[in-house]
Homo-oligomer: A and B are copies of this chain.
Amino acid sequence: MPRRLPTVSDVARAAGVSRQTVSNVLNSPEIVREATRDRVTAAVAELGYRPHASARRLRTRRASTIAVRLDPFAGGISGAVLDRFLHALTERAEARGLTVMLYTATDAGDEIRQFQRLVDGAVVDAFVLASTYSGDPRTEWLIEHGHPFVTFGRPWGIPELDDPQHFWVDVDGRAGVAEAVRRLRASGARRVGFLGWPAGSGTGDERRAGWAAALAEAGVDAGERALLTVDAEESVAAARAAAKRLLGQASDLDAIVAASDTLALGALIATGGALRVVGFDNTPVAEAIGFSSIDQRVDEVAAAALELLDLVGRSEAGDPRSHRLITPDVIMRTPGPALGLVG
């Protein structure tokens, strides 16, 4: 039976104070005398009082809700990343008294219509976008209309990157891959190849750059590096074929770092498990099969996103606080000899 819920008035009556005092105890406890405060908190506990979210929102004009778009396909093997991010975000949002709600959209135009609906209905007061691209109409619209947002992922266009209005948090793929290469070398792998996406995706280019930097550090020159890397689209089959090519042009390979777990799986199959392979995203597949991978640390990303949301609007031009780069974790695994794959 949904009994009538207690309100501030009920609490006030029970504690023998005014409504206002109750409100104060709840919102600015420091300004009320301790004895009174205790009486009120006791009454709150006894009655099981909870602030009515809608009433508060109506009054404060804040929804305390952030919206996240759920992708049509959480697809591909790496879809799980967004999932984990969402979980982390929800958890940390709760801790801050925020609610996470979901929406879907078929394309950017549709998504902007959703923004409209959600802000006009005062359902939401901030957005978290899971990815952006140069000239993204969504971020332009949000900035133009003054609605707070954070993106998980850098805006890869030149001008937006330092736009103090564009708050973003991203994972430093370059640093992660470089670290993975170093770890491989430290554990004896002399020649480390890279299986990446075709040039042009900011994320993919960064990851390859990390590999190149680590090799350069170790004295491998550009000419040699060129033989140690190949491209593949994001599919196991394409990765497998590409890895075969790589083995052909660099026969004495010890390990391969890949731009994703999907590519890594392809490489693993192509090499029959003879080489050490490191993927990216640390998906359940990497864990299940037991190959190494680079973890995005979505928990840190979520925390940073919420912190940035706090700063939105308060940022000055060039303020470095408007973005944040998280260093990922390299998870090394040694696949059990039990598991052999050959292609």
Which A residues contact B (CB, under 8 angstroms)? 1-2, 5, 48, 50-55, 57-58, 63, 65, 70-72, 74-77, 79-80, 83-84, 86-87, 90-91, 94, 99-104, 116-117, 119-123, 145-147, 235-237, 240-241, 262, 265, 269, 284-285, 288-290, 336, 338-343
Copies in the complex: 2
**Do residues B54 and A269 form an inter-chain contact, with CB atoms below 8 A?**
no
Partner of A340, one of B84, B117, B342: B342
A47 to chain B, nearest CB (A): 11
- In the complex, 9 of the A-B residue pairs with CB atoms within 8 angstroms, ordered by the A residue number, are A2-B145, A50-B120, A53-B63, A53-B121, A74-B84, A77-B285, A77-B288, A94-B104, A237-B339
A22 to chain B, nearest CB (A): 16
Q: Once the chains are docked, how many angstroms separate the CA of A241 from the CA of B70?
A: 37
Specify which chain B residues have a CB less than 8 angstroms from the CB of A103 in the assembled complex.
90, 94
Chain B residue, CB-CB nearest to A65 = B101
Specify which chain B residues have a CB less than 8 angstroms from the CB of A121 in the assembled complex.
50-53
Task: State the main secondary structure of chain A at its contact with B.
Answer: mixed
Partner of A58, one of B2, B52, B235, B269: B52
Q: Once the chains are docked, how many angstroms separate the CA of A2 from the CA of B148?
A: 11
Partner of A123, one of B53, B58, B288, B340: B53
A245 to chain B, nearest CB (A): 14
Partner of A343, one of B72, B80, B145, B340: B340
Known: A76-B284, A90-B102. A2 touches B53 (CB 8 A): no
A144 to chain B, nearest CB (A): 9
Q: Once the chains are docked, how many angstroms separate the CA of A56 from the CA of B74?
A: 33
Partner of A120, one of B48, B101, B147: B48
**Do residues A237 and B338 form an inter-chain contact, with CB atoms below 8 A?**
yes
User: Top 6 nearest A-B pairs by Cβ distance?
Assistant: A50-B120, A54-B57, A74-B83, A53-B121, A54-B58, A236-B288
Q: Once the chains are docked, how many angstroms separate the CA of A287 from the CA of B30?
A: 58
Q: Once the chains are docked, how many angstroms separate the CA of A341 from the CA of B269?
A: 7
Specify which chain B residues have a CB less than 8 angstroms from the CB of A86 in the assembled complex.
70, 102
Specify which chain B residues have a CB less than 8 angstroms from the CB of A63 in the assembled complex.
53-54
Specify which chain B residues have a CB less than 8 angstroms from the CB of A122 in the assembled complex.
5, 52-54
Known: A50-B117, A102-B101, A340-B343. A90 touches B70 (CB 8 A): yes
**Do residues B77 and A91 form an inter-chain contact, with CB atoms below 8 A?**
no
**Do residues B104 and A101 form an inter-chain contact, with CB atoms below 8 A?**
no
**Do residues B80 and A104 form an inter-chain contact, with CB atoms below 8 A?**
no
Partner of A54, one of B54, B237, B340: B54
A238 to chain B, nearest CB (A): 11
